[in-house]
Amino acid sequence: MSKKNSRRQFLKAGIAVSTGLAASNAVADDDPLITQKQTWNQELGSGVDERPYGMPSPFEVDVKRRSVPWLTADPVSSINFTPLHELDGIITPNGLCFERHHGGVAEYDPSYHRLMINGLVDKELVFTMEDIMRFPRENRTYFLECAANSGMEWRGSQLNGCQFTHGMIHNVMYTGVPLRSLLEEAGIKSNGKWLLAEGADASGMTRSIPMEKALDDCLVAFKMNGESLRPEQGYPLRLVVPGWEGNMWIKWLRRIEVGDQPWHHREETSKYTDLLEDGRARRFTWVMDAKSVITNPSPQAPILHSKGPTILSGVAWSGRGTIPRVDVTIDGGKNWNMARMSGPSFDKSMHRFYYEFDWNGSDLLVQSRAHDSTGYVQPTKDELRSIRGENSIYHNNGIQTWHINAKGVAENVEIS
Ligand SMILES: Nc1nc2c(c(=O)[nH]1)N[C@H]1C(S)=C(S)[C@@H](COP(=O)(O)O)O[C@H]1N2
Ligand SMILES: [Mo]
């Protein structure tokens, strides 16, 4: 059987079926998918020995990470984006988690991996992966969002697709050892107030992390969604810093130094600080505030049917807790409606929402607005700019607007 052929047949049939739907679900008696035999039920399919590691259907080839050429000066120090508009539920499949690395993907045998804890500790320690696996472990689901997510949109709408405006995020169930357990094994001296986490990749990335956070909910993780971390996500070991900006989640974690003050390295001074209108910059803006985006419809995922029952879907998250509520508007904010939350509501994890409505077939301006469990409400982009000015890149959690025209085509716009 030719894959191309069956796709063409399917597409043709798809048109027949959807006209059928518009005409109150009448069965089309000439539908070849019902009246004719198909290759896939005439021939045996492939056997169990052909997929030692399963891959998506060939019809899903467009579901992939994408990069933006003008944001990619060099692929080894760059970013690609999660295809949020192709996903549902709350978990990001491992092969679709966006990647951000500053010196390429380090790939090495995990038996060569070492994690050192040094500095202001009673006993400096070095762990192998086997040592780490012998500590009691936990399973927790968290989002990781790069602080630069939506950063290109500070001064106005720019990139046409939620993959590009909001795709520097993934949401994964991690298995790992609480960082607290490893620190307690080493014994923190009373003046040990900060950590420096360091990666083993060519960028040797480092970030300062306050001790309270390290002892609270950080994990040293080795599994994502049940299987080993992917090389691009820091195999064999990464730091998980729940709710805080992605840059702090050091991949290929090789060293934790305990100190009495922050180090003020590159990633917390020249990068990942927020430049204000008056030229001063905010530092240590670690927490990712509540944010949401409508993933469907969106510029890469237009509405394909004509007016009538329509499903709007999206994701919301907060670095400060859960998302009990998301509001949705389809008329640019004149009327707000409460979305329906569906799926588990975990702390500092992505949440899924839906809003089902009867589309009258005219233009729409759709927006979503997240409320988190602290009572914080996602701001508009103008509200953010009124306080932070227009120089920022990082921490843009403003409300996103898509314009949908009568043909269902969506575009990134801003309204004020
Ligand atoms: N060792 C190391 N850790 C790193 C980075 C890196 O380049 N090297 N990039 C950081 C940045 S800026 C982000 S946003 C996240 C991205 O994680 P991901 O590749 O799993 O999406 O990893 C962080 N940890
Ligand atoms: Mo990042």
> Can you tell me the mean pLDDT for 297-302?
98
- State if residue 143 touches ligand 1 by the CB under 6 angstroms criterion: no
Structural Rg of the chain based on CA atoms? 24
Residues 6+ apart with CB under 8 A from 357: 309, 310, 312, 330, 337
How do the domains of the chain map onto residue ranges?
A: 3-38, 79-282, 291-413
Element (H, E) at 49: none
Q: Is the CB of 292 under 6 A from ligand 1?
A: no
If one counts every other C-beta atom within 10 angstroms of the C-beta of residue 10, the result is 13
Question: In the structure, what pLDDT confidence band is assigned to residue 30 with cuts at 50, 70 and 90?
Answer: confident
Predicted model pTM = 0.93
**CA 197, CA 250: separation in Å to the nearest integer?**
7
What is the position in ligand 1's atom list of the atom closest to the CA of 103? Answer: 7
User: Of 383, 321, 328, whose CA–CA distance to 350 is shortest?
Assistant: 321
CB of 203 sitting under 6 A from ligand 1: yes
Between CA 300 and CA 389 the distance in angstroms is 30
pLDDT at res. 77: 87
Q: How far is residue 38 from each of residues 1, 6, 23, 60, 195, measured CA to CA in Å?
A: 10, 9, 26, 20, 62
Percent of the chain with pLDDT over 70: 94
CA distance 416 to 401: 10
Q: Is the shortest distance between the CB of 145 and ligand 1 below 6 Å?
A: no
Look over the chain and give the mean of its residue pLDDT values, rounded to a whole number.
93
The Å distance, Cα 247 to ligand 2 centre, comes to 4
Band (73; pLDDT cuts 50, 70, 90): confident
Determine the atom of ligand 1 nearest the C-alpha atom of 99.
Answer: 19
Residue 1 is predicted with a pLDDT of 30
User: Does the pLDDT at position 72 exceed 90?
Assistant: no
Nearest-angstrom CA–CA distance, 335 and 243: 31
In this structure, which topology does domain 79-282 adopt according to CATH? Sulfite Oxidase; Chain A, domain 2 (3.90.420)
CATH number of 291-413: 2.60.40.650
Backbone angles phi, psi at 284, to 5 degrees: 55, 45
Q: How many C-beta atoms lie closer than 10 Å to residue 351's C-beta?
A: 27
User: pLDDT per residue over 32-50, tens digit each?
Assistant: 999 999 999 999 999 999 9
* pLDDT tens-digit readout, 75-93: 888 999 999 999 999 999 9
